[in-house]
Amino acid sequence: MPTRRPARARRARAVVRRGPARRRESVAARAERTRALLARLSEAYPEARCALEHRTPLELLVATILSAQCTDQRVNQVTPELFRRYADAAAYAGADLAQLELRIRSTGFFRNKARALVGLGRALVERHGGAVPRTLAELTALPGVGRKTANVVLGNAFGIDEGIVVDTHVARLARRLGLTTADDPVKIEQDLVRLVPRSAWTLWAHLLIFHGRAVCKAPRPRCAECVLADLCPSAEPG
């Protein structure tokens, strides 16, 4: 006889499978379903972590800036030599712009990124003694640092769950899973932080990114292979 799902998962599934009625799902029921999604994803991807290779908060901050409109794999190919040549904030502050552009050229938008890195180095030296700050307000005041980048650094370099990173994978999956109807990343984050336990905010983004790359792809998700299919209002019949 097949193993039955826990009662919480059965209740969550009942909410999802009501078709049009699922739009009446309460916030409490959606939060319960989110916890079930979190448990499934954590079991499926125990190795989920930040894909950008780094050893220090500064290295992660630089790598995240470089990752804009670029794959993590490409960034990881560029950063070992970059980190060797620019070991601290002062090195970026005093960098020759043309040389820095050359070293990061393959990440795309290299002129804007190089200017941001030089400005970042100067701001860190002048305002923070060369150290990467630990607050969202201070991070987002730095050149080239938006809310997503700040959340990446806070969660992964400092273990501070200040918010949820919303990249293309997280945005796509959050909508497909019926956790938001928004398109704006800030609004998506606002919806998610109401549902995901705070202690899992950093992990949640990694789990959705791993699942988005492996199964819930754009434009054609592999619903037949998905461990979340019975909890997902967008799942196609197998």
Residue 192, pLDDT score: 98
The residue behind tokens 């993590």 is: 72
Q: CA 137, CA 157: separation in Å to the nearest integer?
A: 16
Q: Is the peptide bond before 221 cis (omega within 30 degrees of 0)?
A: no
What is the pTM for the complete model shown?
0.87
For 139-188, the pLDDT digits (tens) are 999 999 999 999 999 999 999 999 999 999 999 999 999 999 999 999 99
CB 166 within 8 Å of CB 189: yes
Q: Kindly list the structural domains of the chain, giving each domain's residue range(s) and its CATH number in brackets, ordered by start.
A: 7-44+164-231 (1.10.1670.10), 57-157 (1.10.340.30)
Q: Which residues are catalytic?
A: 148, 167
Phi-psi category of residue 142: left, alpha or beta, with phi > 0 → left and psi -120 to 50 → alpha: beta
For 185-229, the pLDDT digits (tens) are 999 999 999 999 999 999 999 999 999 999 999 989 999 999 999
Report the pLDDT averaged over residues 22-40: 91
Residue 21, pLDDT score: 37
| pLDDT band, residue 66 (cuts 50/70/90) | very high
**Identity of the residue numbered 215:** V
CB 66 within 8 Å of CB 104: yes
